[in-house]
Amino acid sequence: MNDTTTTPAVLILLGPPGAGKGTQARMLEEEFGLIQLSTGDLLRAAVAAGTPSGLAAKTVMEAGGLVSDEIVLAILEDRMAAPDVKAGVILDGFPRTDGQAAALDGLLARNGQKVSAAISLEVDDEAMVGRVAGRFTCANCGEGYHDTHKRPAKADACDKCGGTEFKRRADDNAETVRERLKAYHAQTAPLIAHYRKMGVLETVDAMGSIAGIASALGAILRRVTA
């Protein structure tokens, strides 16, 4: 038996709301067998379940602000402890503050791991408002769509699973997106310098096609996990 163990990949996607982190994470998840870990999804699940953390997070999320590090880290650490993440993870929407980045570095170091790459998706802010305000997802499988850029091929049925119910996030309206963009620039964009200093920063022009961006990300992932 070959007992050589490879360190699981830890990929971070950085970028403002609407940059395509979720869309790309889902594609990479399928192609590379990694686990997408979205703190936004975990928080929305906590809100839906009505847990104490969910109740505290709900108002902040609806206003477009950032949920406290304490709540986010508790949820994230819980998820990172599950066995399936051993395959490697794509962090989508985490870390978003200095405190979260430092906590992640510490958590990984304790497991003998480190960030493989932090990829900044570079986009134009104004375009993000239109992208986010028009998006919706399949209520069954989560496939993402957009009113103008990516409608289901057959009207009213999901391309991927055939589901006929779609949903829109409460915070995907123009006013809240502007608040989320402000939070991104004030608290999350500074992390780009943190990862540059660690020597793991990659940047990708994310204004092109979904497939083109996916292939740029795939090339980075193959390179950093080789």
Q: How far is the CB of 5 from ligand ADP (least distance, A)?
A: 29
Q: Which is nearer to ligand ADP, 60 or 224 (CB)?
A: 60
Residue 131 is among the residues annotated as catalytic for this protein: no
Q: How far is the CB of 92 from ligand ADP (least distance, A)?
A: 7
Residue 135 is among the residues annotated as catalytic for this protein: yes
Using CB positions, name the residue nearest to ligand ADP.
Answer: 40
Six-digit token pair at 215? 């292939």
Q: CA distances (Å), 212 to each of 27, 204, 223, in order?
A: 12, 10, 17
Query: CB of 43 within 8 A of CB of 61?
Result: yes
> In the chain, what are the helix, strand and coil shares in percent, each to the nearest 5?
50, 15, 35
Q: How far is the CB of 178 from ligand ADP (least distance, A)?
A: 12
CB atoms near residue 141 (< 10 Å): 13
Six-digit token pair at 23? 């869309």
* Catalytic site residue from 150, 169, 178, 196: 169
Q: CA distances (Å), 88 to each of 176, 202, 216, in order?
A: 32, 18, 19
- Interface positions with ligand ADP (CB under 6 A): 17, 21, 38-40, 43, 60-61, 64-67, 72, 93-94, 96, 100, 180
- CA dist., res. 173 & res. 87, Å (int): 35
Residue 21 is among the residues annotated as catalytic for this protein: yes
Residue 160 is among the residues annotated as catalytic for this protein: no
Residue 180 is among the residues annotated as catalytic for this protein: yes
* Catalytic site residue from 26, 58, 79, 180: 180
* Catalytic site residue from 26, 44, 58, 96: 96
* Catalytic site residue from 44, 58, 79, 135: 135
- CA dist., res. 167 & res. 10, Å (int): 30
Q: Which is nearer to ligand ADP, 67 or 117 (CB)?
A: 67
Q: How far is the CB of 38 from ligand ADP (least distance, A)?
A: 6
Q: Which residues are catalytic?
A: 21, 96, 135, 169, 180
